[in-house]
Amino acid sequence: MNTHSAQPFTIGLVQISIPADPAESLAKAEEYVRQAARLGAQVVCLPELFRGPYFCQHENHDVFNQAEAIPGPSTETLGKVAAEEGVVVLASLFERRGPGVYHNTLAVIDADGTIPGLYRKMHIPDDPGYYEKFFFAPGDTGFKAFDTRFGRVGTLVCWDQWYPEAARLTALQGAMTLFYPTAIGWHPEEKAEFGREQLEAWITVQRGHAVANGIYVAAVNRIGHEISADGGPGIEFWGNSFVAGPMGEILAQASSNREEILLAEVNPTRLETVRRHWPFFRDRRIDAYGGITSRFLDQT
């Protein structure tokens, strides 16, 4: 896409708490997408795995029953909303691809209700409270950008947000915005000691992706303290959804504990101007990066 000739568009990030009932969560998402559209959003992004509480706190085989096909019930409902409101919807879902094969998948639903493509989360964490490797096969789509009615968008998911390689490869495909639907928060017993530095690291690394790629970055998180049915201290999701511009400037940021719809404009002319003056893409040494595909470079 020629970004210099593209038109500005408005993105909307939906930061919400997530109901326990999947039907209620889908209805809530539908209502918030409609609200965002009526506030002027043209591309609306929901939080990661918005169909219910974050289930990866414990390994539980029964949870696989929550997965759905794509296309499926969620994309059908949101596709109707997208078409009725004339908005693009980015929906993170627990995909059942086939027997025993599941993914953490971001469906891109265009403003006519069609699905131009899927992105399957590439980086899968395995940490206390985030046992995603038990549930999700690694993505095999590669890093993706999609043309929508309003602009070309890059789709990444949560743990992907820590990896500069993911941001770079998506930006190189002509995306004007990197979207990161997210479910991230504090372990309550760690919050007092480590909470601020964890949150600031999360924001800082993504602002860095915006600067390094001259691109808009949009991260949308959930809020609320969710305790798994299997027990434990739970996770206190820290909200703080935000949009950064191509110099890393914060254009909009939400609170840590309130439901909010964030709006921000993506301006392709601004992106073009920043890249002309900070020409990181021009000066990349593509002849010298072979080592990036190694797990580790032996120091001999």
Which residues participate in catalysis according to the annotation?
A: 48, 121, 158
Give Dmax (Cα) for the chain.
61
Distance (Å, rounded) from C-alpha 218 to C-alpha 97? Answer: 27
> Which position has the token pair 């935000």?
242
Task: From residue 70, give the alpha-carbon distance in Å to each of 64, 75, 77, 89.
Answer: 15, 7, 12, 14
The distance in angstroms from the start CA to the end CA of the chain is: 44
Q: In the 3-class helix/strand/coil scheme, how is 23-35 assigned residue by residue?
A: HHHHHHHHHHHHH
> Which position has the token pair 């998911």?
157
Distance (Å, rounded) from C-alpha 44 to C-alpha 131? Answer: 28
User: At what angle are helices 73-85 and 22-38 packed, to 10 degrees?
Assistant: 20
| Residue 15 structure tokens | 């930061």
Distance (Å, rounded) from C-alpha 111 to C-alpha 36? Answer: 14
Q: Are 226 and 184 in contact (CB under 8 A)?
A: no
- Rounded-to-5 percentages of helix, strand, coil across the chain: 30, 25, 40
| Residue 179 structure tokens | 């979207």
> Which position has the token pair 């110099």?
247
Distance (Å, rounded) from C-alpha 198 to C-alpha 73? Answer: 35
